[in-house]
Amino acid sequence: MYDWGYGTMPHGGMGFGMGGWILMVLFWILLIVGIVVLVKWLISSSNSHSGQSDARRGRALEILRERYARGEIDHEEFDERRRRLED
């Protein structure tokens, strides 16, 4: 009636029955989704750091403009420092 083949389960099965392949597919889906989420988190975390440096650069330009407006620095010094900040 049954071909017991290799092992103690019919047809050499591993004991999971018909749903064994579903567990394997779910495992791989969860693994791939976990890797994708990890990569996205790492990318967003590195982007937030670059956003902070842009904010600092913007604040530095604002301070430079304020110093120029108050007359603390002349036009040449303002242009030189502005070029350095924008690079």
The model's pLDDT over 34-74, given as tens digits with 9 standing for 90+, comes to 999 999 988 887 766 656 677 788 899 999 999 999 999 99
Domain presence at residue 23: yes
What does the pLDDT read at residue 32?
97
The DSSP H or E segment spanning 14 is none
The predicted model scores a pTM of 0.41
Domain presence at residue 4: no
Query: 20 with 14: CB under 8 angstroms?
Result: yes
Domain presence at residue 67: yes
Domain range for residue 65?
10-86
Q: Confidence class of residue 87 from pLDDT cuts 50, 70 and 90?
A: confident
Helices 20-70 and 75-86 meet at what angle, rounded to 10? 170
Q: Is the dihedral of CA 44, 49, 50, 51 positive or negative?
A: positive
User: What DSSP designation does 71 have?
Assistant: T
- The total of structural domains in the chain comes to 1
Q: Confidence class of residue 27 from pLDDT cuts 50, 70 and 90?
A: very high
Structure tokens at 7: 């092992």
